[in-house]
Structure 1
């Protein structure tokens, strides 16, 4: 915002100093809205965040579904492998299946945890879009600033060329002194150096914009920027940060996911099950066999596994809470910093418009009038 105030001020000053500007062909105006649309399509970080979010949405169904059942094929021979069935009633060929069944609630908690993580990634994607858009806007305004600075510096150089000519004319008719001529020449050289630095800065700024867009698109020239008043008070801005910031919502969703992870880790103390059924076919004359089994996993090593798993989940929950608080403090500070900067810039802009520019313009016109009058004499 400081820079915006200076941009508007030097534009007004340049208008006064330049006089009549001859029309010339200008490059195509590149609107900020065009670049923003290009940014959302091509920026690698935005695309990466979108793919990360899309990947996260595929996980809840995976972790919330039963493990794949197992198909069993069996052949039991008597006397030799793959013996014929009629040699013994204990020889058989069988087929069966088995299914592992986690303790009730485990799959639901795993799916809920993954859903919270997916929501966190969704909000993170929104946050990155806003962050990159903000960076693009800053680069665009810098581009406008340096472009206008080049225009104004060029006009100032032309004005100093005129003053140098006047100083030479006064010196030629004995009304001036040589130091005035030398001083004007030094000023012209200084502005030429400034123009070189500004041109370099313009190239760097344009490179920054192209980097954000991930494209070598021709940029043309920026559109004009107009002053806009701050529509909100600081309290309202902070309230919006608290309630609508995607970054905070992402961190909050991660806190919720870590809370669910604690419940899921505690559920690991409960045993899982495995059920199986098998049909065993024997030779004719012998009855077929049918076998059903049930298995229970006993968490006998809970002191080295489940207990530590709960402690790990609790530590990650605390980490998520601290990350949320850190993000909140960063955003609150950034909001206050930008707000106070904007308020100061508005005051500076008003000072330029009402005081500095009119006074400087009057003084300059008076000086030029005096120089011209002396030369005419």
Structure 2
């Protein structure tokens, strides 16, 4: 078999024969670096990744909003001194008094409930967005970990092939020195050794970049040993099942759906702003001992007379935000469906190629 094809075949079969290639090197006590398990990195990812933590705190902050916006405004306490002739005249006549009063603003019924529901829907969206970011970063870390495994195996195989060709070169030089070989064989062996040395340097550089990427995910200069062995796992799902899971279980899509619901509630809340709010107050007025005390009760109502510049535009704003959320939902749905199909077909193609190597190319090349 030509040497070029042999090298290509070796690199393609790294995931398949990784266990056999490094079985001896994986034995304890051989001076190998400790194994860094994927699950260990995933645990650190959730605890340390800045994007995940930012989404977590954003969700936690959003959960504090519903009680705030659905609670009545704070009541007001009023202390009054009404002097006659001078600011602090005392109780010189029946018009002078000192008073204490309270007032409470009450929004039109339904406003607070709608505000709380809208905020709760937004919190639901932030929760699903947090889950989506966790899954996204987990997927990215897994992909980088598998790249790390692949390049580590490629380095092991390339190193062994370089050592083997180096021995071939030594044999060719020895044969040439005693007149049993020809110089082109020596030059060819040297070229092959130099080529593998160059590949090894490039693989080492790629490995360093991948390890730096892993540390960036973990937001820590965590020491990395070597990746654990990876076994083939078949794809048990059909495409229809995958697409159904996208529709019903995707946190990213559920976050968009919750935002659509929040914006729909926002339209109802904006329309409710046409309704007036109320204010009720009570005041006790203390006069002199020779006069009667006063009791003042008052009800006020806000008149939305500027509705053309406030409430009407508020409704239009809410409707525009609702349409924005709907289009974002559709865009996210289309993106997720495409990504699901793309990853599914890639997995199916990988399984077919692996089966082809196992049943065809490997037996034919042996």
Contact 1:13–1:357, Cα closer than 8 Å, also in 2: no
Counterpart of 2:13 (choices 1, 9, 12) is 9
Q: How far did residue 12 of structure 1 move? A: 5.8
**Counterparts of 1:14-163 in structure 2 under 5 Å?**
24-85=30-91, 87-163=92-168
Distance in 1 (CA, whole Å) between partners of 2:10 and 2:186 is: 30
Number of the residue aligned with 1:371: none
Number of the residue aligned with 2:297: 292
SS in structure 2 opposite 1:136? helix
Contact 2:275–2:304, Cα closer than 8 Å, also in 1: yes
Q: In 2 relative to 1, CA 325–70 (structure 1 residues): closer, same or farther, beyond 3 Å? A: same
Number of the residue aligned with 2:259: 254
What whole-Å deviation, never above 9, does each CA across 1:178-217 have from its counterpart, x for those lacking one? 1111011011011111111111111110111111011111
Q: How far did residue 357 of structure 1 move? A: 3.3
Q: In 2 relative to 1, CA 99–124 (structure 1 residues): closer, same or farther, beyond 3 Å? A: same
Q: How far did residue 8 of structure 1 move? A: 6.6
Contact 1:18–1:155, Cα closer than 8 Å, also in 2: no
What whole-Å deviation, never above 9, does each CA across 1:28-82 have from its counterpart, x for those lacking one? 1111111111111111111111111111001000000000000000001111111
Contact 2:18–2:229, Cα closer than 8 Å, also in 1: no
Q: In 2 relative to 1, CA 121–75 (structure 1 residues): closer, same or farther, beyond 3 Å? A: same
Q: In 2 relative to 1, CA 357–156 (structure 1 residues): closer, same or farther, beyond 3 Å? A: farther
Contact 2:26–2:32, Cα closer than 8 Å, also in 1: no
Contact 2:172–2:185, Cα closer than 8 Å, also in 1: yes
Distance in 2 (CA, whole Å) between partners of 1:290 and 1:339 is: 77
Distance in 1 (CA, whole Å) between partners of 2:59 and 2:22 is: 53
Q: In 2 relative to 1, CA 7–278 (structure 1 residues): closer, same or farther, beyond 3 Å? A: farther
Distance in 2 (CA, whole Å) between partners of 1:295 and 1:263 is: 24
Q: In 2 relative to 1, CA 130–343 (structure 1 residues): closer, same or farther, beyond 3 Å? A: same
What TM-score, normalized by structure 2, do the two folds share? 0.93
Q: How far did residue 172 of structure 1 move? A: 3.7
Distance in 1 (CA, whole Å) between partners of 2:220 and 2:260 is: 37
For the aligned residue pairs, the C-alpha RMSD in angstroms reads: 2.1
Number of the residue aligned with 1:278: 283
SS in structure 2 opposite 1:94? strand
SS in structure 2 opposite 1:66? coil
Q: In 2 relative to 1, CA 282–224 (structure 1 residues): closer, same or farther, beyond 3 Å? A: same
Number of the residue aligned with 2:201: 196
Distance in 2 (CA, whole Å) between partners of 1:44 and 1:160 is: 47
Number of the residue aligned with 1:267: 272
What TM-score, normalized by structure 1, do the two folds share? 0.90
Deviates more, 1:18-27 or 1:187-196: 18-27
Deviates more, 1:43-52 or 1:21-30: 21-30
SS in structure 1 opposite 2:13? helix
SS in structure 1 opposite 2:202? helix
Q: How far did residue 224 of structure 1 move? A: 0.5
Q: How far did residue 9 of structure 1 move? A: 0.7
Equivalent pairs, count: 356
SS in structure 1 opposite 2:94? coil
Distance in 2 (CA, whole Å) between partners of 1:116 and 1:176 is: 81
Contact 2:278–2:301, Cα closer than 8 Å, also in 1: yes
Distance in 1 (CA, whole Å) between partners of 2:108 and 2:187 is: 92
Q: More relative contact order in 1 or in 2 (CA 8 Å, sep 6+)?
A: 1
Contact 2:260–2:326, Cα closer than 8 Å, also in 1: yes
